[in-house]
């Protein structure tokens, strides 16, 4: 899925309950997973370990999101 600026903001707002949030210009999804403790993409959040997946903005000003 490829999103422009407006679509990306709408998507993150509507999917925040599924772990999506902004980190600067990156869209990040945090998925609870105990293996996050030892993962280079691991993050401790809300009292749990999880793994993050980042989507960076392209030179076209769009974000490509993969299904996680």
The torsion angles phi and psi of 22, rounded to 5 degrees, stand at -95, 140
| Pairwise CA distance, residues 5 & 13, whole Å | 12
For 6-47, what is each residue's pLDDT tens digit? 999 999 999 999 999 999 999 999 999 999 999 999 999 999
65 domain residue, yes or no = no
Would residue 63 count as lying in a domain? no
How many domains would you assign to the chain? 1
23 within domain boundaries: yes
Q: What's the pLDDT band for 66 if we cut at 50, 70, 90?
A: confident
pLDDT category of residue 67 using cuts at 50, 70 and 90: low
The number of angstroms, rounded, from the C-alpha of 65 to the middle of its chain's C-alpha atoms is 9
State which residues form the domain around 11.
2-58
């Amino acid at each position: 899925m490829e999103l422009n600026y407006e679509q990306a903001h709408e998507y993150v707002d509507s999917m925040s309950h599924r772990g999506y949030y902004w980190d600067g210009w990156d869209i990040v999804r945090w998925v609870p997973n105990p293996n996050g403790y030892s993962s280079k993409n691991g993050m401790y959040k809300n009292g749990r370990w999880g793994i993050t997946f980042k989507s960076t903005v392209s030179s076209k000003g769009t974000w490509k999101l993969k299904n996680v």
